[in-house]
Every structure is written in C-alpha cells, then in structure tokens.
A and B are shown apart, each in its own frame.
Chain A
Amino acid sequence: MLIVGENMRKILDFNEIKRDLVNVENFLAKFINFSNPELRNSALHILKAGGKRIRPAFVLLSGKVYGTTNNDLIPLAAAVELIHMATLVHDDVIDKADTRRGEPTIRVLWGNKFSLHCGDYLFAHAIKLINPEKNKQIANVLARISVEMCQGEIQQLLSAFDTNQSVKDYFFRIKRKTALLIAASCKIGAIASQASLEAIDALYKYGYYLGMAFQIKDDVLDMQGDSSVIGKPAGSDLAQGIITLPTIFALQNTNQDSIKLRKLIDNRFPMGSHDLQEAVKIVNASGSLGKSLSISSKLITKAKNQLDLLPNCPTKKSLAKIADYINERDF
C-alpha cells in the first residue's frame, strides 16, 4: 500500500476521505502497472514520489456531498490525478527540474524525449479512464480545462521577465495554471453524484476561488521562502522569470526600490543569486505580501460563501475547513 503524501495528510487528517484517498492511490498503482517496463517504472516513480493529491481529494469530497459511492468516484479521481501527473512530467522538462519532492525527475532518470512520450502516454490513459462515452459531461469539462491549462502555461512562458504585466495578466495565468483543475475536480465529483445544476455550479466556483487563493498563497510563500519548509529557496519563481502577484504589487510602487526591482528583473539578475536575493528583499519589504494575502483571504471567503448553497453534511464542514487551512498554511 502506498503512503499518502505528508502534506496531504496534514490537510485531510480531519476529514472522512482519508481511506478513499488510499484507495485512489492503490487504484492508480494498479492502473499504471503497464506491461512496458520503462513506462511502468517511470509512472510508479512519479506516483511513489507522493504529492498533495488535492485534486482527487476534491473529486471525492464533492461527490460525498451528495452521497455518491466510492466505486463511481475513484476512477474519476484517479483520472484527474493522472492528468496532473502527465503535466508534471512535461513541466519538469520545461523547468529543467532535477528533483521533485526530493526524488530525481523522470527527465533526469530517462531523458527529455522519454519524458515527452511518457507524459503523452499517461494523458491518453487518463482519458480512457474517464470513459468519455459514458461520462460525456465530465469528458467535456476536462477537455476544456486541459486546453485552458496549456494556454496558461504558454502565456506564462511568453511573459517571462515581463515587468509590465498587470494583475489581470497574473489572474489569467493562475486561473489556468491552478484554479481550473481544482474547480474541475469539484465539478466532476458533483456531476458524478448527479447534483443539481446549482450545486454543480457552487462546487465549481468553490474550487475556482479556492484554487486562486491557493496559488496566491503559494506565490507569497515562495517569496517568504524557508527552503527547509517549502522545499525550494526564496524567489525560485522569480529566478525563472515568473512574475507573481507580490512582485507585480512591488513593481507598482512609486519609489526607488521598485525602479531597482524592475531593473534587476529586466536585466535577468546579472549578479546571479546576489541580485535575486536583493529582488526578494525588495518584494518582502514593499508591503506587497500583505496585500496579496488580503486578496487570497477574500477569495477564501468567496469560496466558503459558495458552500451556503449546499445541503448540510459533514463533508460540507470539511470543505470549509480545507478553505481555512489554505488560508492559514505556512508551507
């Protein structure tokens, strides 16, 4: 039996889907037991590296609101995680990442070309797992958000080191990068449990606001970064040219620091890590982290407001707790 990732345990210790998540994990382990040894070993390698399993958790939780049986939800939850795994394999090539969750990446172990084919193979199998002929509405949701996720990633790449991007540009990106897959996970669980249209919409919006808040919080943590806690050094996004909300706010200030920050980013940190640390210091001192966290908190409130439209049940309380947890987390 595979162990659910440490972070996930922290998030979901208090709710009723712990056992279901282990079932998803076991389902995935069986599903990716491909006959091709290289594919099997690489897919198992990603699975064993763990992860938060946030997306399958939301499929399960949303389904539970309306009492859907696990047998229906587990393959769908696994499919969502498989799509996420496929994107991670490609992301590691794009980011030239050597490790993921402390383990060497597929790209390091098997190479770029292998990673490409492995990711494509996993995505094709995730689609099979959804059983689109039976679950047309769910297939449609995943197809649409897959397109939007790719568009967000392309936009992020094209806007690297662009100090003129706006808050709107940032929201365009994080909606596609993070929020849509969480929103879709919630929606899928609701559709599978034959919830009303109003409830499906409420759970989708809950996931969307939560996903946006989650990413903003992540971006703030990246700037505050204690590498021993979050697993990467402070400013690692900025080092790759990814301009997040705290940096955008800091750049909007009208002072010498913001001019210096713009120059450092425009010149791609000519003095390397020294310049990067300088930029991180400016962002931290600018007051932009608090401003970002305030937006994140507002989004959490919006997410929780959506829950008012759902029937009262223990799962609804868990969804509210997860929202609070995301607001308060420090890793």
Chain B
Amino acid sequence: MNNTKALDLEISLILARIYKNLKLKSGMSTDILDISFSKLDMTFYPYLALLASQGPKGITKKNRTLAVFSQIMYLSTEIHNQIPEDSTKNEFTNKVQLPILVGDLLYSKFYEILCTEDCFEYLDYYTEYVSQLNLKWIDYLNHKVSIEDISSCWYGELGSMIMELTAKASSFNGYWVKIIKRYGFGLGNLFGAYKLDLSAHEINKSWNTVQEAINLMPPGEIKDNLSSFAQNLYNSLFRNIVLNEFVLSAAADR
C-alpha cells in the first residue's frame, strides 16, 4: 500500500467500474445533469475503502465492490440533495426532473450491485444509513437539527461505515477495526466540513478525531500510510487554515 502508483491503479480500476454503472442508453447519466463532480468527489470514499484494506487479506474482491457501490450510493445522495424547493420553468428539467431520476437510478444501481455481487451481508448497514440520513434531512427541514448534524450523519457516518466494513473484510483484528472506523468518521466529517463549508471550529473538531484515532494506532507502515493520507487531505482541503497556522507559528517563533 505504500506504493502510490499501485493505489492509484486500484482507484482507476474502481472508477472504471463506477463509470460503467453510470452509463445510460443515451450516454453517461451524470453528463445529463447540471451538476459536476470533482476528482475528490469521485474518489474520496473509494480511497477510504482502499486505505482500510491493509489487513492480512489485503484488498479483497468484496472491498473493491464495496468501494464501487458505496461511491454510487454517495453520488445518489449528492444528486438528490441538490434539488431546489423552487425553480423556474426553464430550469425545471435540468434542476429538478433529471436529478431526481438520475439519483433514483444510481440508488437502484447500488442496490442491484449489492444483489448481483452477493454482498447481502452489507445491506442492513446501508439501508440503515440511508434511512437515518433521510430522517436527519427531514428533521433539518423542520429545523430540529443543525447542518453540522447533517454533515456528521451524511459524510462522517459513511466514512466510518466504509472503513469499518472494508477493514473487517481485510481481516484486521477488532482493535484495528475500531480505530480505523473512528479514523473514517473523522475523515468523513472533515470532508463534510469542506463540502458544506462549515466553521473552523467544526474543521478542528473533525481533525482532532482523526488525530486521536491515529495516536491510538500501533506504530508501523499502516499507521504511516493513514497518517500521511490524512495530512495530505487536510492540507489540500484547508490550505488557508494551514497557511494561517504556519504564519501564526512563525510569528510565535519570532
């Protein structure tokens, strides 16, 4: 796993499978939307799946499949979330009708892959996740929970679930699974803080969760890999915060 090229190759193979599932009779389903997905959007959760696959069994077939259907499900939640309450007549098809249908299609695809790849043992986790997420959104619409709660349920719990399931499939022991799950929750929250533009306080809270999880890891290659991924992600997502911290610490040194 310390070979970045090998990891990138795995990611590109997983992405190819994801894109194959996004195909429609008339082209790519995501191409008919006004929504565009960045490279980070497309690869964040698959990376988490691969990072948690450093146990004795390594990257299993199930881990790759988990990465594929988790990403497809994640995309469906992103697409559905972008549907506005109101829209003009001209934008109704692109902003409302197509996103609903494409989101539904991806959600059905996720379910289809789970069935055809015989991954039924994961179904309860994912249906529970989807149920909780939609409940949370409904509570949010009724002003009962905050956007931070949404972020935690949406991005944090997904990161936690993917890393827990892939770590188990890769035969990590119970101790490792627990820490990796916590690490996934923290990283997911960090990603959520970036996506939903949350406060510096929320970013720090998520970063602390990641750091705590890393501190609990036994020293070695796995810890180094996870630590370096987290640091790179933090640096690239929150460059301004990193720069501010650098300036502050330089000023303090002086």
Contact = CB atoms under 8 A, between A and B. Distances in A.
Interface of A: 36, 38-39, 87, 90, 93-94, 96, 111-114, 116-121, 123-125, 127-128, 132-133, 136, 139-140, 143-144, 146-147, 149-151, 153-155, 157-158
A113 B135 contact: no
B100 A113 contact: no
B115 A90 contact: no
A132 B96 CA distance: 31
Contact of A121 (B29, B98, B104, B135): B135
Interface in B111-137: 111-112, 114-116, 118, 120-121, 123-124, 127, 130-131, 134-135, 137
10 contacts: A112-B96, A113-B83, A117-B134, A117-B141, A121-B138, A124-B134, A140-B115, A147-B105, A151-B24, A154-B29
A94 B109 CA distance: 20
A147 B83 contact: no
Contacts of B228: none
Contacts of A128: 124, 127
A220 B130 CA distance: 39
Mostly, the B contact residues are helix
Nearest to B77: A120
B102 interface: yes
A113 to B, nearest CB: 6
B109 A38 contact: no
Given A121-B131, A127-B111, A154 B138 contact: no
Contact of B100 (A94, A140, A144): A94
Contact of A127 (B29, B98, B127): B127
A158 B138 contact: no
B246 interface: no
A86 to B, nearest CB: 9
A153 B137 contact: no
Given A111-B85, A154-B98, 12 more contacts: A93-B96, A112-B85, A113-B137, A116-B80, A119-B104, A121-B135, A132-B120, A143-B112, A143-B114, A147-B108, A150-B105, A150-B108
Mostly, the A contact residues are helix
A94 B101 contact: yes
A283 to B, nearest CB: 24
Nearest to B136: A117
Contact of B115 (A94, A113, A121, A139): A139
A117 B138 contact: yes
B115 A114 contact: no
Contacts of B83: 93, 112-113, 116
A114 B131 contact: no
B24 A39 contact: no
Contacts of B105: 147, 150-151, 154
Nearest to A145: B108
B26 interface: yes
B146 interface: no
Closest 7 CB pairs of A and B: A150-B105, A146-B108, A143-B112, A121-B134, A117-B134, A124-B130, A143-B115
Nearest to A42: B138
B219 to A, nearest CB: 39
Interface string B13-30: 000000000001110010
A134 B184 CA distance: 30
Interface in B64-107: 80, 83-86, 92-93, 96-98, 100-105, 107
Contact of A157 (B85, B97, B107, B124): B97
